[in-house]
């Protein structure tokens, strides 16, 4: 600790920096440094990637079995038997195209936690005081965080989906891999997984900012994603209205959003699902912004 400068009577202070101004780009760069200099974030991203790719591999095995039964059913129908319920060969091909989203539910929970913690732990450690002193414009701070977290979560979602697809090619039945090629549908699925993770991070950042607390933020995400779905499904028998609403719950929307082979005349198309999901995630993001921008940081 004892250094020459410390003992020296006068600390050297270099020239003033009149030309340096606070910019939004600077705020984004600051948040980017903050994100990548925390070991936890790297660990969580790595775990997300591993789990999603692992789930993709498991699902490849499932698809192989589905394929066998679909083929058997097809032959049975060809010999005159009555068609049985279950996925057709074409369905299975679409499952294989969309294999990138196998671990999405899992991954998105981790991704949302990363986002909650990105702001929640600033409050826990009082880093937020330093952050808001350096960048006193609340909206700039919030948007900078949102951008950084969106970038990383989209990136990890997309990469995980693409890698899952790649790994699955090694495990899938060769007849499936021959029939399935990387086309627009497949790439759309990867992009959709990335977008889903990104939207989850909005929800996470929003709830984290709203509650200023890691635990609270994560619990709220769990409530909206999982508990709401389970609860609505439980009481769905009570009324048609609830049954109509169930497909618009965030988890169901996420599944629709990434599914390959949704018919053009489906009740909810991929795009519509994505838009509704954005609404679900924008609301917490806006609430978080309001809390940060309009109230004291105490």
Partner 1 sequence: MLEVRNLTKQYGNQAAVDGISFTVPDGRVTGFLGPNGAGKSTTMRLLLGLEKPTSGTALIDGKNYRSLPSPLTSVGALLDAKAMHPGRSGRAHLRSLAVTHGLPASRADEVIEMTGLTNVASKKVRGFSLGMGQRLGIAAALLGNPQNVILDEPVNGLDPEGVIWVRNLARHLASQGTSVLISSHLMSEMSQTADDLVVIGRGRILANSSMQDFLALANNDRVLVRTDERDDFARRLKERSVAFDAVETDGLLVQAPTRDIARLGVDAGVLLHEIIPQVATLEEVYMNMTRDEVEYQSGEFAGQPTPEIATGTPWGTTADKEN
Partner 2 sequence: MTSTTLPTAPTRSYKLSFFGTLRSEFLKFRTLATNWVMLLLTIAIMIGMSAAYATALNRFYQRALETQAALEAGGPSPQVRPEYSFTVDQVLDMARSIGGVGMMFGSMLIASIAVVFIGAEYATRQIHSTMTAVPRRSSIYISKLLVLSVWSFLVGVISAVAGYFVAQPILDPGISEQLSVGTPTVLNWLGVGLYCLLMSWMGLGFGAILRNNAGGIVMVVVLMFISTIVFGLLAETANWVADFQPYLPINLGETMTTVGLPEDTDINNLEAGIWLGVWALVPALLGWFRFTFTDAKG
Binding string, residues 124-163; x marks residues near partner 1 by CB under 8 A: -xxx-xx-xxxxxx--------------------------
24 is a site residue for partner 2 (CB under 8 A): no
- Binding segment for partner 2 (CB under 8 A), chosen from 132-140, 151-159, 235-243, 278-286, is 235-243
Q: Which of partner 1, partner 2, none does residue 215 bind (CB under 5 to 8 Å by kind)?
A: partner 2
Distance of CA 220 to the CA centre of its chain: 15
Those residues with Cβ within 8 angstroms of residue 293's Cβ, 6 or more apart along the chain or in another chain:
138, 139, 142
241 is a site residue for partner 2 (CB under 8 A): no
Give the count of residues interacting with partner 2 (CB under 8 A).
Answer: 34
120 is a site residue for partner 2 (CB under 8 A): yes
Number of H helices, E strands in the chain: 14, 0
Q: How far is CA 136 from CA 78, 130, 147, in A?
A: 71, 10, 18
218 is a site residue for partner 2 (CB under 8 A): yes
Give, to the nearest 10 degrees, the angle between helix 39-78 and helix 138-171.
40
Tell me the C-alpha distance between 95 and 61, whole Å.
12
- Shortest reach from residue 292's CB to partner 1, in Å: 12
Q: Can you tell me which of 23, 65, 129, 130 binds partner 2, judged by CB under 8 A?
A: 65
Half-sphere exposure of 89 (CA within 13 A, CB side): 13
Is the CB of residue 163 less than 8 Å from the CB of residue 57?
no
Is the CB of residue 30 less than 8 Å from the CB of residue 118?
no
- Shortest reach from residue 294's CB to partner 2, in Å: 22
Q: What are phi and psi of 91, to 5 degrees?
A: -55, -45
Burial class (CB in 10 A: 0-12, 13-18, 19+), 26: middle
- Binding segment for partner 2 (CB under 8 A), chosen from 119-127, 162-170, 176-184, 185-193, is 119-127
- Binding segment for partner 1 (CB under 8 A), chosen from 65-73, 97-105, 119-127, 226-234, is 119-127
**Is the CA virtual torsion 295, 206, 208, 122 positive or negative?**
negative
First-to-final CA distance of the chain: 33
Q: Which residue, 135 or 224, is less far from partner 1 as judged by CB?
A: 135
- Shortest reach from residue 117's CB to partner 2, in Å: 5
Q: Can you tell me which of 20, 78, 181, 240 binds partner 1, judged by CB under 8 A?
A: 20
User: What are the residues binding partner 1 (CB under 8 A)?
Assistant: 1-3, 5-7, 9-18, 20-23, 26-27, 29-31, 33-34, 37-40, 121-122, 125-127, 129-130, 132-137, 296-298
User: What are the residues binding partner 2 (CB under 8 A)?
Assistant: 55, 58-59, 61-62, 65-66, 102, 105-106, 109-110, 113, 116-117, 120-121, 124, 214-215, 218-219, 222-223, 226-227, 230-231, 234-239
């Amino acid at each position: 600790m004892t250094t020459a400068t410390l003992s020296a009577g006068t600390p050297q202070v270099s020239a003033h920096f009149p030309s340096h101004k606070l910019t939004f780009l600077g705020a984004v760069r600051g948040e980017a440094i903050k994100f990548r200099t925390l070991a936890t974030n790297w660990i969580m991203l790595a775990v997300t990637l591993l789990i999603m790719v692992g789930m993709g591999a498991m699902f490849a095995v499932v698809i192989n079995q589905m394929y066998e039964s679909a083929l058997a059913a097809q032959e049975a129908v060809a010999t005159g038997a009555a068609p049985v319920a279950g996925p057709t060969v074409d369905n299975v091909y679409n499952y294989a195209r969309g294999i990138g989203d196998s671990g999405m539910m899992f991954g998105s929970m981790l991704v949302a936690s990363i986002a909650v913690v990105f702001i929640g732990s600033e409050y826990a450690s009082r880093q937020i005081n330093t952050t808001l002193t350096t960048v006193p414009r609340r909206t700039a701070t919030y948007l900078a965080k949102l951008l950084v977290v969106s970038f990383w979560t989209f990136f990890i979602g997309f990469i995980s989906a693409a890698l899952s697809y790649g790994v699955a090619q090694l495990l899938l039945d060769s007849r499936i891999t021959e029939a399935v090629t990387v086309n627009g549908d497949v790439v759309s699925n990867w992009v959709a997984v990335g977008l889903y993770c990104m939207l989850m991070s909005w929800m996470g950042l929003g709830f984290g900012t709203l509650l200023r607390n890691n635990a609270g933020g994560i619990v709220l995400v769990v409530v909206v994603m999982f508990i709401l779905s389970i609860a609505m499904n439980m009481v769905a028998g009570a009324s048609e209205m609830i049954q109509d609403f169930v497909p618009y719950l965030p988890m169901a929307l996420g599944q629709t959003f990434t599914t390959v082979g949704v018919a053009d005349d489906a009740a909810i198309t991929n795009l519509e699902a994505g838009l509704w999901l954005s609404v679900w995630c924008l609301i917490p993001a806006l609430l978080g912004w309001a809390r940060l921008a309009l109230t004291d940081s105490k």
